[in-house]
Structure 1
Amino acid sequence: MTTTGTTQVNATRAQTNNVPIGILLMVAATVVFALQDGISRHLAGTYNTYMVVMVRYWFFAAFVLFLANRAPGGILATARTDQLGLQIFRGALLVAEICVAVYGFTLLGLIESQAVFICYPLLVAALSGPVLGEAVGWRRWMAIGMGLIGVMIILQPGAGVFNPVAVIPFVSALMFAVYGLLTRYAARKDTTATSFFWTGIAGSVCMTTVGMWYWEPMIGSDWLWMALLCVSGVAGHWLLIKCYEMAEASAVQPFAYFHLIWAAMLGIAVFGEVVRTNVAIGAGIIITAGLFTLWRERMKG
């Protein structure tokens, strides 16, 4: 999912490089984020998506304010930026992506949504040339093309039963890829703490502006699910921050694909979803292409 803020935490890590602990923390984070996706699907299936994401972002904003207050210089120092417009746009783009992703969960389920969404690292690689001016070699383009073939196998656009709704998770992945690239661009001038701060604050303000018009009364048991959703978001971010403090991103990033495995297990066990053959084949191709791209990046580094 939509993993809020995962792309900017990797810049603030200590000098330690304990890869086994880093891998454990990454796997734990994928478990938490898969649970978050499942809770989001449950709540958004009953209540308005905008309201669900808005409440989730209130808690996220409180979390980044807490972190900023504890940082050297406090909130004012953390919030200081010469790229305010870019930071606000990043935050707005991410919260819009989360709304699209959660809406996709309610229409397509966790398995199919996540199977398509995992192509986002390949989209980042494809767009890094035009957006950041980075060199994209033929091997990377080959991996990108392979991953997109995997997406096509999942979506089956040539089949007579093609459902246009199936494009939603691809749109979500594209939005998240652009967000990731903008985060890398912002990192040329701003610290990770500043980018993380504006992700939560700008996203919360934008979502409140929209979501307050869609408020619905919620039953008591669902408020417990909402509280768990908020806590899982904070727990996931904390695990990722600790993960990237413990180990280099290139060593632990491949294990982020465990997110799809946990989401599939949750989709089958809780929501009665099934893994269609084309989805399994397409997801396998996407993961292979993504791992190849990560390996190439590591070799270059």
Structure 2
Amino acid sequence: MEFAPDHHSLTQRALQRWRALSPNGQGAAWMLLAGTGFTLNGLLVKTLAQGGMDPFQISLARVFFALVALLPFIWKAGPGAFRTRHPVVHLLRGLFGGMAMLCGFYALAHLPLAQVTALGFTQPLFTILLAVLILREPVRWRRWAATAVGFCGVLVMIRPGSGAFDPAMLVALFMALGIAMAVVLVKRLPVGESHTAMLVYFCLASFLLALVPAILNWRNPTGMEWALLAGVGVLGMISQACIIRAYRSAEATFVAPFDYAKLLLATLVGYLFFAEVPDAWTWLGAAVIIASTYYIVWRERLKAEPEQREER
């Protein structure tokens, strides 16, 4: 005689095992979930783009469905979801983030999924440059050297002047630059700024950026395409939430390497769905970029440890 599984007890056991994990273990799990979400998001975007849908239309739908997913949180927060003393910073962050999203969608339409993912790892390198220029943060020679090495990895991957060079690679770099600019602008916001407000204003600014070009290039999606567009919006929002959870749960230097698993997953998905096989130059350039960005994160930890001891 067979018995139906007790779903309540299964859930309880799963929660107990989750709580038994260390903070670093939970952070690693959140980061792997985020990487999986972003990779599947890339799969959906690439499928839509190869079907002939314009990146502006995909971006507009992505932001719209993200806003729909945010509605319960906006309702819970009430007027506080829109309250801020820094509307200009939010506007700029949304515009740069929206530009990054558009560049990413364009790059996904023209480049292998793994290559776009690898070039996206240059975001910390751009963040350092922008932090010096905008935030006037001091940077010592080791971080400058690591940044230079990282950009050498970019040159290895894109090989300007060779027959393998594709201008879409530069668009992918603009994606990383836009994300870095959005990150730097977040640092200009006070610690108490509402996370809901940050997400809401980001979506609204990105929506306005994509609205007119999307209307001009609009074509009516099929039922399946509407489902894929909804998936892009919801997956993007969930993946961003997982990233936040990862860095709140664990040490940044511990969880950062788990983000690089995204490259292996992107390679597998690209091969299975689009028959994409990264060449040796892509792997070599990605290895250099990953090594340099991880070194920068490690140096940040060393820098933060004395400050934390002083606070104690």
Q: Hey, what does 1:252 align to over in structure 2?
A: 255
Cα separation, 2, equivalents of 1:61 and 1:273? 33
Pick aligned residue for 1:41 from 46, 52, 61: 46
Letter in 2 for 1:55: A
Aligned to 2:85: 82
The match for 2:209 is 206
Residue 154 of structure 1 deviates from its aligned partner by 0.3
Q: 2:243, 2:293 → 1: CA distance?
A: 19
Change (3 A) 1:289 1:30: same
* Conserved? CA contact 1:150–1:283, under 8 Å: yes
Secondary structure in 2 matching 1:38: helix
Q: Is the 8 A contact 1:22 1:244 kept in 2?
A: yes
What is the identity, as a one-letter code, of the residue corresponding to 1:121?
P
- Report the residue type matching 1:176 in the other structure: I
Moved more, 81-90 or 145-154: 81-90
Query: Conserved in 1, the CA contact under 8 Å of 2:65 and 2:230?
Result: no
1:188-203 to 2 correspondence within 5 Å? 190-203=193-206
Long gaps (5+) in structure 2: 1-20, 305-312
Further displaced range: 135-144 or 248-257: 248-257
Deviation at 1:171, TM superposition (A): 1.5
Aligned 1:55-70 pairs, distance under 5 A: 55-70=61-76
Correspondence 1:112 to 2:115:
yes
The answer (yes or no) to whether the contact 1:126–1:136 under 8 Å persists in 2 is no
Q: State the Cα distance separating 1:164 from its structure 2 match.
A: 2.9
Q: Which amino acid aligns with 1:28?
A: L
Q: CA RMSD in A?
A: 2.0
- Measure, in 2, the Cα distance between the counterparts of 1:117 and 1:243: 19
Amino acid at match of 1:66: P
- Matched ranges for 1:1-301 at <5 A: 18-46=23-51, 47-71=53-77, 74=78, 76-187=79-190, 190-301=193-304
Q: Percent identity?
A: 26
Query: 1:136 aligns to what SS in structure 2?
Result: coil
Moved more, 255-264 or 267-276: 255-264
1:24 partner amino acid: A
Q: C-alpha distance in 2, partners of 1:237/1:161?
A: 33
C-alpha displacement of 1:17: 7.3
Bigger Rg, structure 1 or 2: 2
1:241, 1:180 → 2: CA distance?
13
Cα displacement (A) at 1:197: 2.3
Please give the alpha-carbon distance, in whole angstroms, between the structure 1 residues aligned to 2:75 and 2:22: 27
SS of the equivalent of 1:186 reads coil
Residues 256-265 or 233-242, more deviating:
233-242
Query: Equivalents in 1 of 2:123, 2:83: separation in Å?
Result: 30
Would you say the 8 A contact 2:158–2:164 is kept in 1? no
Amino acid at match of 2:290: I
8 Å contact kept, 2:121–2:176: yes
Q: Which moved more, 1:133-142 or 1:194-203?
A: 194-203
1:195 and 1:136, CA in 2 relative to 1: closer, same or farther beyond 3 A?
same
**1:237–1:66: structure 2 CA closer, same or farther, 3 Å change rule?**
farther
Query: Contact (CA 8 Å) 1:61, 1:204: kept in 2 or not?
Result: no
Counterpart CA distance in 2 for 1:195 and 1:265 is: 33
Contact 2:94/2:203 (8 A) holds in 1? yes
Instruction: Tell me, yes or no, if the aligned pair for 1:101 and 1:168 is still in contact at 8 Å.
Output: yes
- The normalised TM-score by structure 1 is 0.87
Unaligned runs of 5+ in 1: 1-15
Tell me, yes or no, if the aligned pair for 1:64 and 1:200 is still in contact at 8 Å: no
CA displacement 1:158-179 (0-9 Å, x = unmatched): 4255333321111211121111
* 1:186-245 deviation digits (Å, cap 9, x = unpaired): 246734333222112222233234322322112222222223223312322332343334
